[in-house]
Chain A
């Protein structure tokens, strides 16, 4: 008798639980958005910027009573996963968020090293993903479900080559890059072909590489110094830039050093110090001298976290607003996760004239890449990132 009673009770509980959970799915009150960010590992500052921007956006949306879609307000919930700045962890994080947490859309990963493999997972599982910061073409290539909020390396490489040619009139370039990482390797190749297109074969007089985690670049920099290069292009992350710039100066290489958007971290100048003053890099936005919505974001972020947001934070903010725009364009959230994901993906590929804080973006169907301008930033003598020039496609 006791056993039967227990069995009945347990069955009842299970049935009730099922009923309740299916009830919840029919009319969703919350929308889940996944964030795949490098909170630990090689580039923790990038992860921190992503997380802070995401949380600020969440506060704003939920503070206004939720995200309004088709006249109905939904609460938004974030699922933040750490990818440890590793490709395999980024893949695992995406898989978990897609299958277990059932997020509607994923924002991240940031660096191409994680975004390229993680994008494959999102595409295979028919889940829209926006990488705010990944500039490698392979992230979105032939992947209708993957988008980005920034320009590409095949635009950034030539932008650097054109700027240096116009600004300094140099003809001999040196490149130092990490051969084991997708982003620097891709960018180094795009720069090299653009530079050789401008100045002929052999105009890149030193093309030196190293591997991730290296801290001593003296052998490569000695070769670069001997090559007679007029400037050095190094599309590396901020922690490596600090070491490269310092060692270059200690070896007597005093020519300009040029970088890419991976330099644009709030941590670059504290680590690099005076060795980085006067150098240039291409990026997505310049905080000094910003106006309008960009300034409002910078002020709010600075007040909350005590430092000026870097481009990762700004692009993450834009990626969230892109997602919001797409959901609103969708018109309705049905609760059927597969249908909602498809709807958001289709809406994203049709976004035109989106006014982001890092510039105006337009997507064309069939490609996950927006058309937008690059900014050339000079690090001034106080270590601030100042707007120098704009370079548009």
Chain B
């Protein structure tokens, strides 16, 4: 039982990253009907931006130039990383995708792959191949509930991730911009004809998605403090699967699918040899898709699919 609960805690943290990254995929897919394959690398960029902000703020306060407590540095790091990374996301949309808005979808898909590779190798060129250690912003405290080990960072990561997801859900459900996003996801051929500005909505979804990926990047750095330029690839494609599984444009579905991904990873490795991790979890997802081809909360669509 203790082992089970411990693994639930492990899976909640692990699933938060998938859920946060998957939301970015899902929104862009919902609004523009394209897969931003560079999104995993945006997560990497967010993590590196967080690394530089945190390292900078920590050395500034060590020098006595600013005096900030650890939690303030943490909050600043998260907010600044989200802000700066959302600019990167908007830039990617402006440079990479907008010129190809009316091109075949396959061209947009390879654009994503290319931007991803440019981000990875650009990072490799600028910062070198050495791993970076994400600094310890707040001291990690380990405490035990029965036989279940918890750390303050783990709890922080899960709770803040959930709060961010709830905030996004509220934004999409209860604001005018959110309504525009939902409308685009409903029918992106007719809705722009009604006067919804496609370019603004596209920039907004890329910015929001990138900000979420940056939050995931900073949290990832806190939990797994070894950063490398290729860290986003596997997360990218696993979160992409979660985004499709959740259903096009559905926040709740994507979050559930992201956590499901995390639980599958952890529990398959618990009860089977870990080499079977991807084999078993993807087989399960394949079965789910057979019965729910549009994902958990996706609606059927036909004419809009312009592949």
Contacts and interface: CB of A to CB of B under 8 A. Distances in A.
Interface of A: 39-41, 44-45, 47-48, 179-180, 208-211, 213-216, 218-220, 222-223, 226, 239, 242-243, 246, 249-252, 267, 270-271, 273
Q: Which of A45, A239, A242, A252 has the most CB of B within 10 A?
A: A252
A44 B128 contact: yes
Chain A contact residues, majority secondary structure: helix
24 contacts: A39-B129, A41-B129, A44-B128, A208-B274, A209-B273, A210-B269, A211-B274, A211-B277, A216-B10, A216-B266, A219-B269, A219-B274, A220-B269, A223-B270, A239-B131, A239-B226, A242-B225, A243-B226, A250-B149, A251-B6, A252-B142, A252-B144, A252-B149, A271-B226
B151 to A, nearest CB: 5
B72 interface: no
Contacts of B274: 179, 208-211, 214, 219-220
Say which size band chain B's interface belongs to. 35 or more
A216 B149 contact: no
B265 A246 contact: no
A251 B149 contact: yes
Interface string B8-37: 001001100000000000000000000000
Contacts of B7: 218-219, 222
Contacts of B136: 273
B187 interface: no
A223 B90 CA distance: 44
Given A222-B270, A271-B133, A249 B142 contact: yes
Contacts of A213: 234
A215 B277 CA distance: 13
B124 interface: yes
State the 4 A-B residue pairs at the shortest beta-carbon distance, nearest first.
Answer: A44-B129, A218-B10, A219-B269, A252-B149
Contact of B140 (A40, A216, A219, A250): A250
A270 B133 contact: yes
Given A44-B131, A215-B224, 9 more contacts: A45-B130, A213-B234, A216-B265, A218-B266, A219-B270, A219-B274, A249-B142, A251-B6, A271-B226
Contact of A222 (B6, B124, B273): B6
Contact of A246 (B124, B225, B269): B225
Nearest to B234: A213
B175 interface: no
A242 B225 CA distance: 8
B129 A216 contact: no
Given A209-B274, A249-B142, A252-B144, A215 B226 contact: yes
Interface in B99-152: 124, 128-131, 133, 136, 140, 142, 144, 149, 151
Contacts of A243: 224-226
Contacts of B154: 250
Contacts of A220: 269, 274
A216 B149 CA distance: 15
A251 B269 CA distance: 16
Given A44-B128, A250-B151, A252-B144, A222 B133 contact: no
Nearest to B134: A271
A222 B2 CA distance: 10
A242 B3 contact: no
Contacts of A246: 225
B228 A216 contact: no
A40 B144 contact: no
Nearest to B153: A250
B267 interface: yes
Contacts of A214: 274
Contacts of B266: 216, 218-219
A251 B273 CA distance: 20
B275 A180 contact: yes
B91 to A, nearest CB: 26
A209 B275 contact: yes
A40 B225 CA distance: 20
Nearest to B128: A44
Contacts of B273: 179, 209
A261 B169 CA distance: 50
B151 A179 contact: no
Nearest to B149: A252
B141 to A, nearest CB: 10
Given A216-B14, A218-B10, A219-B269, A267 B142 contact: no
B14 A218 contact: yes
A267 B131 contact: yes
Nearest to A209: B274
B275 A44 contact: no
Contacts of B267: 219
Q: Which of B6, B136, B144 has the most CB of A within 10 A?
A: B6
A40 B133 contact: no
Nearest to A274: B136
A22 to B, nearest CB: 41
Contacts of A208: 274
Contacts of A226: 2-3
A329 B176 CA distance: 83
Nearest to B231: A215
A179 B128 CA distance: 28
Contacts of B151: 250
Contacts of A249: 142
